[in-house]
Amino acid sequence: MKKRYVLLIGLLALFVLSGCSADEQGVQRKQEDTVELTISAAASLQESLQEIAASFEQKNPGISITFNFGSSGALAQQMSQGAPADLFFSAAEDKFAQVKEEGLIDEDAWTNLLANELALVVPLDTEQEISLFDDIVKAERISIGTPSAVPAGKYAQETLEGIGVWEDVESKVVYAKDVRQVLTYVETGNVDAGIVYKTDALVSDKVKVAAAADETMHTPIIYPAGIVKNSAHIEAAQQFYSYVQEEESIKIFEKYGFKGLTNRGS
């Protein structure tokens, strides 16, 4: 009787262990079957792309998405130096053209996806009388992105030069690594005003828009997007690339203040 009991216990233990092994193998197979896309994208796209990615992953459970958000210039430099990426979303045509000319973007899989606007923002509780771009001369400290690396900073400088106040405010400028850092400086009151994209102003409840930039004063704000030629997951990259151009995704972009474009790259 005792032998039978020991045998029964042994069989149960073997059954449990084999079940656990099967479960572990199943999890391992599932992990191996999941494709992870790495997307380098302009910081101003953070909220919209994360919402779109969440929807995409629900519809495509075999694909997970990891984002690398930053200034378009920094991201372009990273890619030029060999940083892995499957898709690139830039906030400027020149930064995108840089990696495209280096042969890093698939010539048949890129597009001018979105447009944006530039806005002058101030802290919500500011006492400064700033309601026009010309009023920026009243500020003691202003912030823009570093023009050489941050497209929003380049557009900001062009605007300030266009309205003839750049020389008056240049010494007051606090440069930021990307447009979101500009927004943070304004939110925390570290500067009296900042120049960001309209879309960034819309996601913050700690700033208010003092004025919108005259679009004739700066280079058109276009967001190109494309598939990286040496992507290890071309098929999955193509799926997401197509998905961001669908009507559902464009509506999400527009909800965050972007303008969808119909101009397609070659």
Burial of residue 136, with CB atoms counted within 10 A of its CB: 0-12 exposed, 13-18 middle, 19 or more buried: buried
Alpha-carbon distance of 133 to 156, in angstroms, equals 10
User: Can you give the C-alpha Rg of the chain in angstroms?
Assistant: 25
Pairing state between β 193-197 and 118-123: antiparallel
Q: 47 by DSSP, 3-state: which? A: helix
* Tokens of residue 37, six digits: 């896309």
- Chain centroid to CA 101: 22
Beta partners for residue 207, in sequence order: 123
Among 182, 161, 147, smallest CA distance to 44 is for: 182
Q: Do 144 and 153 contact (CB within 8 A), yes or no?
A: yes
72 is in an annotated binding site: yes
152 is in an annotated binding site: yes
179 is in an annotated binding site: yes
| Sequence-separated (6 or more) residues with CB below 8 Å from residue 36 | 63, 64, 65, 66, 233
**DSSP 8-state class, residue 234:** H
Angle value at C-alpha 190, between 189 and 195, nearest 5 degrees: 85
Among 132, 91, 87, 113, smallest CA distance to 234 is for: 87
**Residue tagged 């020991």 (tokens):** 6
**DSSP 8-state class, residue 264:** B
Binding residues for molybdate: 44, 72, 152, 179, 197
Which residues participate in the annotated binding site? 44, 72, 152, 179, 197
